[in-house]
Amino acid sequence: MRRVYLDNNATTAIRPEVLEALTPYLAEEYGNASSIHSFGQRARAGVERARAEVAALVGAQPKEIVFTSGGTESDNLAIFGVVGAAKLDQGGTKHVITSAIEHHAVLNACQHVERTGVDVTYVPVGSDGIVDPEDVRREIRPETVLITVMHANNELGTLQPIEEIGKIAREADVYFHSDAVQTAGKLPLDVRKLGVDLLSISGHKLHGPKGVGALYVHRGVHLEPLFYGGHHQGDLRPGTENVAGIIGLGKAAELARREQAGEAVRIGGLRDRLEEEILATVPQTGVNGSRERRLPNTTNIYFEFIEGEALVIALDLKRVACSTGAACSSGAIEPSHVLTAIGKPPEIARASLRFSLGHLNVAGDVAYAVEVLPETVHRLRELSPLYRKPTTANV
């Protein structure tokens, strides 16, 4: 019986090659990577190989990679680290610039530093879900210590103009961080070309294990650590390394770097077919955000007169998994902050689903999803007292 998983922006299945690579480090290769005996040194060698693979994935040097527990910790280390270490020559209030559609790992961190007395500016996005770099430029002050704008939005898939913002940040001599959790492994990354000082990635978004991620930290960037303990990873992230997780992330990075160009084309074709079939067979639907500047694997579609969570549950009963947005916001009563930020009214925001594909998806998954979706939507709409059937004029 077919089960179709179309929620890869929430998490991905660990690839068999990744599981094979990390399994020995859960059993016979159990040494502490900080120990000087042979057990520890074999673990250390594995960690450093993984560090090199992650660095190669983002175009960095291995010494610039700090392993973390995932994207949230990487984002927090970047934001709290820069803000905590920053010193203003003329005094005043430190200032951070971010966007209105960031992941909550960034938004909630920014809201926390606001409570400590830091000024934060949340630049808007257009109806396409894309930040205008000139809006960022206009908000820079002498007290600005950090700009943090995501590379790709997790709900819409929209790609932000990171290179342009990077140039603006360099001109203003302001540190620039980007959450690349959704782009790592899906699109080529080059931290030098992007012009970022800090960049976050997460293992479980690119078919690696959960509980491990990385932060690229450009040479010379000074961060205040989140934790205190031993002198691991240049004093930036104390604690015994998650060796097995790091090995898995390294293998996932290696596979992604080798395959991402071909996979982007293949998965993009599947996404386009899914999107086009839905729009053609289900009336009163539309795509949220830009259809040009976005990840190849993501589409966000609204279904008028439907509660998104009801549709997610109904599709799950048909063995199709998708989501209403960010997994960390599941169960939230408020509509998506991303969709409201691009101007969608609450009833459309609540009626929207995200479909995100990955390495394991095939053409049959798309065919099955578009087979069961029209009838499922129709049945739910018939139960809604607000449902208005389309006329010939508005189909």
367 token code pair: 């065919």
For residues 379 and 16, the answer to whether their CB atoms sit within 8 Å is no
For residues 327 and 312, the answer to whether their CB atoms sit within 8 Å is no
Q: Is 363 exposed, middle or buried (0-12, 13-18, 19+ CB in 10 A)?
A: exposed
Q: Is 23 exposed, middle or buried (0-12, 13-18, 19+ CB in 10 A)?
A: middle
Q: What is the dihedral of CA 121, 292, 357, 255, to 10 degrees?
A: -90
**For position 153, what pLDDT does the model report?**
98
Q: How far apart are CA 49 and CA 250, in angstroms?
A: 7
Q: What is the dihedral of CA 214, 217, 222, 226, to 10 degrees?
A: -10
The amino acid that residue 34 corresponds to is S
Instruction: Name, in order, each residue with C-beta under 8 angstroms of 360's C-beta and a sequence gap of 6 or more.
Output: 5, 12, 13
The amino acid that residue 74 corresponds to is S
**For position 384, what pLDDT does the model report?**
82
Between β-strands 198-202 and 213-217, what pairing exists: parallel, antiparallel or unpaired? antiparallel
CB atoms within 10 A of CB 51: 25
184 token code pair: 């790592």
**For position 234, what pLDDT does the model report?**
87
Distance of CA 13 to the CA centre of its chain: 16
Instruction: Name, in order, each residue with C-beta under 8 angstroms of 270's C-beta and a sequence gap of 6 or more.
Output: 357, 361, 362, 363, 365, 366
Q: How far apart are CA 138 and CA 206, in angstroms?
A: 35
The amino acid that residue 57 corresponds to is L
Q: How far apart are CA 213 and CA 226, in angstroms?
A: 15
Nearest to residue 315, comparing CAs of 383, 370, 275, 386?
A: 370
Beta bridge partners of 48: none
Q: How far apart are CA 233 and CA 221, in angstroms?
A: 14
Delimit the CATH 3.40.640.10 region(s) of the chain: 16-256
**Which CATH homologous superfamily contains domain 4-11+260-382?**
Aspartate Aminotransferase, domain 1 (3.90.1150.10)
Nearest to residue 216, comparing CAs of 94, 56, 366, 85?
A: 56
155 token code pair: 């709900």
Q: How far apart are CA 42 and CA 65, in angstroms?
A: 20
**Beta strand segments in 109-162, E:** 119-123, 144-148
CB atoms within 10 A of CB 35: 14
Residues of the chain with pLDDT under 70: 325-333, 391-395
**For position 328, what pLDDT does the model report?**
56
Delimit the CATH 3.90.1150.10 region(s) of the chain: 4-11+260-382
Q: Which of 13, 56, 221, 328 is catalytic?
A: 328
At 114, phi and psi to the nearest 5?
-60, -40
Q: How far is CA 40 from CA 69, 234, 243, 252, in A?
A: 21, 18, 10, 23
Q: How far is CA 271 from CA 8, 252, 294, 308, 365, in A?
A: 12, 22, 11, 20, 11
Select 16-256's CATH number: 3.40.640.10, 3.90.1150.10, 3.40.50.9100, 3.40.30.10: 3.40.640.10
387 token code pair: 């449902």
Helix (H, G, I), strand (E, B) or coil at 255: helix
For residues 393 and 302, the answer to whether their CB atoms sit within 8 Å is no
For residues 182 and 169, the answer to whether their CB atoms sit within 8 Å is no
Maximum CA pair distance of the chain?
Answer: 76
- Per-residue pLDDT of 285-330, as tens digits, reads 999 999 999 999 999 999 999 999 999 999 999 999 999 965 555 5
Our answer to whether residue 110 is catalytic in this structure is: no
